Structure 1
Amino acid sequence: MTAVTASISTRRQALRLPAEVTSFVGRRHEVAEVRRLLCASRAVTLTGVGGVGKTRLALRVAADLSRDFRGGVWFVELAGVENPDLIAQVVVESLEIRDQSASPPMDVLLQHLRDRQALVILDNCEHLVQECAVLAETLLRASSGLRILSTSREPLGFVGEQTLSVPPLELPGSDRLPAESLARFDAVRLFTERARAVLPTFEVTADNRDVVTRICRRLDGLPLAIELAAVRLRALSVQQLLDRLDDRFRLLTAGSRAVLPRQRTLRALIDWSHSLCSEQERLMWARVSVFAGGLDLDAAEAVCAGDGITREEVLDLVCGLVDKSILLREEHGSRVRYRLLEIIRQYGLERLAEHGEVETFQRRHRDYYRELAAQARRQLFGPAQVAWFARLRLEHANLHTALEHCFAHREEAEAGLTMAADLLYHWITGLSLGEGRRWLERGLAACPRPDEPRARALWAAGWLAVIQADLPSARAMLRESRAIGERLGLDSVLAYVALYDGMVAMFDGDTERAIACYEEALDRHRATGDPVGTVLALIRLSLAYSFRGDSESAIAVGDECLAVADAHGEGWHKAYMMMALGVDVWRQGDLPRATELETQSLRFNRMVDDSLGAGVNLEVLAWIAAAEGRHERAARLLGALDTVWETLGAPLSGYGHLAHYHDECVRLTRKALGPEAFDAAFEQGCRLSDDEALAYALQEEEQGGGSLPGNGSAAGERAPAATGPAGRAAPGAQAPLTRREMEVARLVAQGLTSKEIAAGLVISQRTVDSHIEHILAKLGFHSRSQIAVWVGEQADTADSLEGGGRPGRGKQGGGP
């Protein structure tokens, strides 16, 4: 089948950028220049010293241009990639491509991006310059609608690349400027804003203006340096800060002359920040540097405690590092995570190496995530299931690092194989099906001994191969797994092999053999007391019975499956069982009940972003609509599905035996509407965004009294107010905010914190935060600073076009 894979969400105009947790200051000229370069060239690289703000500049430009790229704006973080061979795989993951094929990651990328108008940011390329150059040039040659914006300390050096050296922030040219005039210099503005974050009453006055100016100069206008220094105002006056900077910087005169002065001063500032930490905080800084992509408190306690740090001390040390801006605090739902800037992480790793402890803490890191994977597998079937899915996605980079460590040491290869198998549902429900199979096959190659871990890894890899429709590989792996299971008497292994043998049989069109396999699997899973295997077998057996025309048996095993799932508080398998029952109930003609089953299933699949499950739900809802005589609705759903199955690689991927129902629905709907009306409705469905397609399938827009998304002239766009070129609400457009929201927006523009706004309006801080979330959503913004600009500069539209104009839209309404 076609090797193209992608998430259901990539049909919409995706904006996958890290949220701005602090305000973006200045850079108006640089923003305009980068936009001008992107208009003239398809590849732009931002170069400059570490800490100068290349990434923030790239993110701001990308956010401003997001409406111009129908294929999405995507951020690829390469700082943690140490193996050049993994670059393409990291890009696949960052673009949220559902890797359902057995193709190499580069082939997947080329096929996915071929016809898309997209902007991809490759961040922190300096340690992979040659490999990034090859990747960028290859992708650009294959996709005429692609633009690539890179950040690196040096140019990538390929044909067509335009570079822009990002300078430090603008500094005052005189020490005696009036305090009010200093605000127009970006370096002073940044220092002031960050100082206010720790000292809300801080102001640049006639008394401190010269000291502030000298601090910004000493820091060479480097954003990272300014931010690290400003946090010290929690304990120091601005004069004390300047004095300590002077003392520390004078120690650098013996540094290498081959290194730029700004690099030396930045290193000095990090050294200085390190010296201000307590001995335990320094230890903690070094130890958390083994984490990739962030960590939570549980991980910090498990990996970093011991040898000088007690478990009880970890929380205080983490808080101390957050206060010192060494760790950045981020909220992900109900969990708080911490992240290190890469330059801070690399510094910590150097310190860890000086102590000779890199291997020790990498091993602790590996052991923690190996146990996390095992724990996730044990708790897979139950009320914590969805939370585990979300947690493993957040930990993907750390899981990757732990697996790399396992396979880098021959004696740990079996642990890596077991871990890869434990993560089976992570590979399936996440964005990494192909990666999961590659980890399993790497482990299988390193662990040839015919034992239970190999047998389990074989059937796990076999299932992934079945989903990818790589049946020859699936048969071979399942055959070997069965042989090991029979030799060692492993009933659990034999149960799963029978289950996946049944899936292969359904692919082959042998329904009777499939049913025999499923029944064998069900008997074995019941005997071993495995609820996961039991419900998997019941789901597939119900589908097979229904396909054979045995509705009574299909519903009986379906009801049993739902009872098992409910007894364990499980949702994901239950959603698939409701989908399967919906198919049979639809075949019997009970359309209201079929609709109820499919919509319940779809709501769950939407919650966990399961594109395959949601796609099958949409299929059945289209068939139901056709059976009800709602042919226009059926055609729209079929149009939405056309993109779903294109991105997943095949119609009803993994459920190909149902494809004839799809074909029959298309035939009957086209006949009922006529070719012209069918094509029009089908095209409307194709234009629906992801959220709109799911809302339409669930009939939410009808319940809410709204019109069908996509019926307007700009289908798929949902802007509450007219917007300007930079993504702001357009000048003169009626504000889409309520009176209270406008009141809060004005206070945000004045620089007040949520706490201060709450006190002034006599409402709770939570209410203020809720208002701000609504404001950001309505205006399409992602930071408080954008709200301030919108409030204060609604008449300012020139900025978006002064730098030579943004890339123009094509005939299809989007992209350069």
Structure 2
Amino acid sequence: MDNFEHVIDAAPVVASLLVNGDRLRILVTSRAPLHVSGERESPVPPMSVPIPARNEKADQLLTYEGITLFEQRAREVRPGFSITPGNARAVAEICSRLDGLPLAIELAAAKSRFLTPADIAGRLEDALSLLSGRSRDRPERQQTLRNAIAWSYGLLEEHPKALLRTLGIFSGGWTFEAAEAVCANQTGETGDLLQGMEALVDNSLVVMREDDITGESRFFMLQTIREFALECLGEVGEREDLRRRHAMYFLALVRKADENMFVVGMKWPDRLEAEHDNLRAALRWAKETRNAEAGLELATCAWRFWQVRSHLAEGRRQLTELLDMEESRDIPHLRAPALNAIGGLAYWQNDFDATRGYYQEAHDTYSVTGKVTGLAESLYNLGFLSLIERRPDEALETHQRSLAIYEQVEDESGVAYSKWAIGMAHLQRRELDAAHRLALEARETFDRLENWFGQSLVDFILYQVERLAGNHEEALRMMIASLDLPGVTGDVSSMTSLIELLADSLIALGHARLGVRLAAGADRAGREYGGGAPPALLEVSDPRDLARAQLNDDEIEAAWAEGARLSLDEIIALARKGGEA
């Protein structure tokens, strides 16, 4: 029995046949389960599709079901069509954007009669209008993608229809909590929402997966279905109010994340990564509606997430656009922290001229508004620019001023960060005992607060003390242990810097080839992800120069080329083997 969803009320008849028919088995295809005794569901997932950013070669793409289907259907209307290096990326984008849906891929491939893959990919922003066919032997509901989705939508009762429309406001998925908060006007009581979600999942319009980070249910809508939902939402005139509710929900979420970003076990960077598309949508709403207040606060709260997940360029662009809004100049209490945030992103991009401008303006603004904790943070930030310029005495004085303010207002986290910063100044002055003592004092607080980022900063001083004292074996042991700190492996900016230091110690211990490979991998990853710790704070020489005492130039270049081909996961795995060298 095919397409049983349009006679779903006849499900009891199927059940009766099974009860009364000896050895009877019935195979049913349906967009919704029958919900009868003895039913065994076998979901049919979308076709496998590539991730366009991987830039896989043409022959590799043909291992994906969606790509193979596209090529087959394109050949039917354009003989000789094949996946080539020239069109591979566009075909990958088409199949990925269409979520591996066979009908959508077939309709897109049919356009190959008069459009190239690049042309098709460029028009997928309006996929529902583009994807129509002229096949006379297809049912009407399969002539266009819009008709196919409308067929399923039409089978729903009014409440699930309204819910589907409102859920289209989410980008990249949502949690049940988010649906309750944003769609409250349409969902009624929690029980109504549960029933509505179940109906949408039953009808294959929404997909549920368990979140690997939180264990919560996370829901997704295929992009083409979301486009249909948003069209319907626009027709009933509810879209703008829902966009506002959506933005306010995610503003509240990043406020909570900002307070606990580095708490071990809470995994806020991972949770915000899952919501990144929703954060982008909320920021887009803030800019389009000229709501600088909401936009600046959201972006400021998100900046540490952008830093530790290596979205440096994106975060800086978002903050630049918000700070350039005329409305942002009228809210100095939000502009100042946003300036510190964008300064931090520029810092991790190693754009120190821009960093100084942002930090100085933040300092000047806080001096006017009188917010003392903001002033302390600005001094803390400016002190690091002195360290980068190799002026440790100036940095020490600036960081001591920051520490005094934090102690005065009893901000224990600020005190710990300031002590760590003062330790960095002592490190640069080669006062290793003082650096070591201050790092351990900061560590006590970071351990109590379960702050994994603070713990990693302390570890940086501790193994730098060992490196600069010539104790490379101990430094190497400590650095390899740091690779497994909670949160650190996901922090690409910090990870690449750690591996640079690890490579330096390996070369010093006589393992030049391994050290050069790691240094090359860290260099490539740093450039790919757009940043890292300032070189002046790492205090390492060019690894290829250091390796010349052990390897000739050809061996060095071969090791460098080998390391530069490694993925970040391969680099980390290789670094873990450093202790066996």
Which range, TM-score by smaller chain?
0.7 to 0.9
Structure 2: how far apart are the matches of 1:471 and 1:280? 54
What letter corresponds to residue 392 of structure 1 in structure 2? L
User: Which structure is higher in RCO with an 8 Å CA cutoff and minimum separation 6?
Assistant: 1
Aligned counterpart for 1:485 among listed residues 341, 366, 377: 366
- In structure 2, relative to structure 1, the CA distance for the partners of 1:574 and 1:406 (3 Å cut) is same
What letter corresponds to residue 289 of structure 2 in structure 1? H
Structure 1: how far apart are the matches of 2:118 and 2:561? 31
The equivalent residue for 1:101 is: none
The equivalent residue for 2:282 is: 402
Task: For residue 329 of structure 1, give the secondary structure of its aligned residue in structure 2.
Answer: strand
The equivalent residue for 2:566 is: 688
The equivalent residue for 1:445 is: 324
Aligned counterpart for 2:453 among listed residues 545, 557, 572: 572
Structure 2: how far apart are the matches of 1:12 and 1:624? 32
Structure 2: how far apart are the matches of 1:640 and 1:604? 20
Contact 2:513 2:559 in 1 (8 A): yes
- In structure 2, relative to structure 1, the CA distance for the partners of 1:502 and 1:613 (3 Å cut) is same
Contact 1:437 1:464 in 2 (8 A): yes
- In structure 2, relative to structure 1, the CA distance for the partners of 1:536 and 1:684 (3 Å cut) is same
The equivalent residue for 2:463 is: 582
The equivalent residue for 1:27 is: 69
1:443: how far off?
A: 2.4
The equivalent residue for 1:39 is: 84
Matched, 1:305 2:184: yes
Aligned counterpart for 1:218 among listed residues 139, 144, 150: 139
Pairs within 5 Å for 1:769-780: none
Pairs within 5 Å for 1:676-755: 676-699=554-577
- In structure 2, relative to structure 1, the CA distance for the partners of 1:31 and 1:658 (3 Å cut) is farther
Q: Could you tell me the TM-score, scaled by structure 1's length?
A: 0.56
The equivalent residue for 1:349 is: 230
Pairs within 5 Å for 1:203-242: 217-218=138-139, 222=142
1:701: how far off?
A: 9.9
- In structure 2, relative to structure 1, the CA distance for the partners of 1:439 and 1:545 (3 Å cut) is same
- In structure 2, relative to structure 1, the CA distance for the partners of 1:583 and 1:296 (3 Å cut) is same
Pairs within 5 Å for 1:54-203: 55-56=100-101, 125-126=122-123
The equivalent residue for 1:475 is: 356
Structure 1: how far apart are the matches of 2:65 and 2:88? 27
- In structure 2, relative to structure 1, the CA distance for the partners of 1:533 and 1:122 (3 Å cut) is farther
What letter corresponds to residue 400 of structure 1 in structure 2? R
Pairs within 5 Å for 1:507-656: 507-604=388-485, 608-647=489-528, 653-656=532-535
What letter corresponds to residue 84 of structure 2 in structure 1? C
Matched, 1:364 2:245: yes
Structure 1: how far apart are the matches of 2:570 and 2:232? 50
Equivalent residues, number: 507
1:688: how far off?
A: 3.5
What letter corresponds to residue 694 of structure 1 in structure 2? I
The equivalent residue for 1:435 is: 314
1:497: how far off?
A: 0.6
Structure 2: how far apart are the matches of 1:475 and 1:29? 53
Deviations 1:247-305 (A, max 9, x none): xxxxxxxxxxxxxxx13xx5455444333322221221111111112111111111112
What letter corresponds to residue 289 of structure 1 in structure 2? G
Structure 2: how far apart are the matches of 1:267 and 1:414? 38
Pairs within 5 Å for 1:376-387: 376-385=257-266, 387=267
Task: For residue 263 of structure 2, give the secondary structure of its aligned residue in structure 1.
Answer: coil
Structure 2: how far apart are the matches of 1:60 and 1:384? 41
- In structure 2, relative to structure 1, the CA distance for the partners of 1:32 and 1:700 (3 Å cut) is farther
Contact 1:126 1:152 in 2 (8 A): no
What letter corresponds to residue 637 of structure 1 in structure 2? L
Structure 1: how far apart are the matches of 2:96 and 2:530? 42
Contact 1:38 1:44 in 2 (8 A): no
Deviations 1:117-149 (A, max 9, x none): xxx9999642659xxxxxxxxxxxxxxxxxxxx
Contact 1:575 1:605 in 2 (8 A): no
1:544: how far off?
A: 2.6
1:450: how far off?
A: 5.5
Aligned counterpart for 1:496 among listed residues 371, 377, 388: 377
Structure 2: how far apart are the matches of 1:536 and 1:52? 44
1:369: how far off?
A: 0.7
- In structure 2, relative to structure 1, the CA distance for the partners of 1:550 and 1:369 (3 Å cut) is same
- In structure 2, relative to structure 1, the CA distance for the partners of 1:475 and 1:27 (3 Å cut) is closer
1:559: how far off?
A: 0.9
- In structure 2, relative to structure 1, the CA distance for the partners of 1:298 and 1:125 (3 Å cut) is farther
1:308: how far off?
A: 5.6
1:661: how far off?
A: 2.2
Structure 2: how far apart are the matches of 1:550 and 1:422? 35
- In structure 2, relative to structure 1, the CA distance for the partners of 1:511 and 1:629 (3 Å cut) is same
Deviations 1:361-394 (A, max 9, x none): 1111111011111111122242344x21111111
1:674: how far off?
A: 3.4
Task: For residue 209 of structure 2, give the secondary structure of its aligned residue in structure 1.
Answer: strand
The equivalent residue for 2:204 is: 325
Deviations 1:150-170 (A, max 9, x none): x89659xxxxxxxxx9997x9
Task: For residue 423 of structure 1, give the secondary structure of its aligned residue in structure 2.
Answer: helix
- In structure 2, relative to structure 1, the CA distance for the partners of 1:666 and 1:536 (3 Å cut) is farther
What letter corresponds to residue 69 of structure 2 in structure 1? R
1:327: how far off?
A: 0.8
- In structure 2, relative to structure 1, the CA distance for the partners of 1:127 and 1:674 (3 Å cut) is closer
Pairs within 5 Å for 1:273-292: 273-292=152-171
Higher helix share: 2
Structure 1: how far apart are the matches of 2:366 and 2:69? 64
The equivalent residue for 2:547 is: 669
Deviations 1:480-518 (A, max 9, x none): 222222223211111111111112212222221122222
1:453: how far off?
A: 1.1
Contact 2:310 2:530 in 1 (8 A): no
The equivalent residue for 2:254 is: 373
Gaps of 5+ in 1: 1-9, 16-21, 62-119, 130-150, 156-164, 172-216, 223-261, 703-707, 709-816
What letter corresponds to residue 533 of structure 2 in structure 1? G
Deviations 1:632-655 (A, max 9, x none): 3323333333423443567xx432
1:527: how far off?
A: 3.3
What letter corresponds to residue 551 of structure 2 in structure 1? L
Gaps of 5+ in 2: 1-51, 58-63, 107-116
The equivalent residue for 2:113 is: none
Task: For residue 448 of structure 1, give the secondary structure of its aligned residue in structure 2.
Answer: helix
Contact 2:128 2:227 in 1 (8 A): no
Deviates more, 1:425-434 or 1:633-642: 633-642
The equivalent residue for 1:811 is: none
Task: For residue 696 of structure 1, give the secondary structure of its aligned residue in structure 2.
Answer: helix
Contact 1:639 1:686 in 2 (8 A): yes
Structure 2: how far apart are the matches of 1:336 and 1:123? 34
- In structure 2, relative to structure 1, the CA distance for the partners of 1:344 and 1:580 (3 Å cut) is same
Structure 2: how far apart are the matches of 1:536 and 1:319? 48
Q: Could you tell me the TM-score, scaled by structure 2's length?
A: 0.76
Task: For residue 661 of structure 1, give the secondary structure of its aligned residue in structure 2.
Answer: coil
Aligned counterpart for 1:392 among listed residues 264, 267, 272: 272
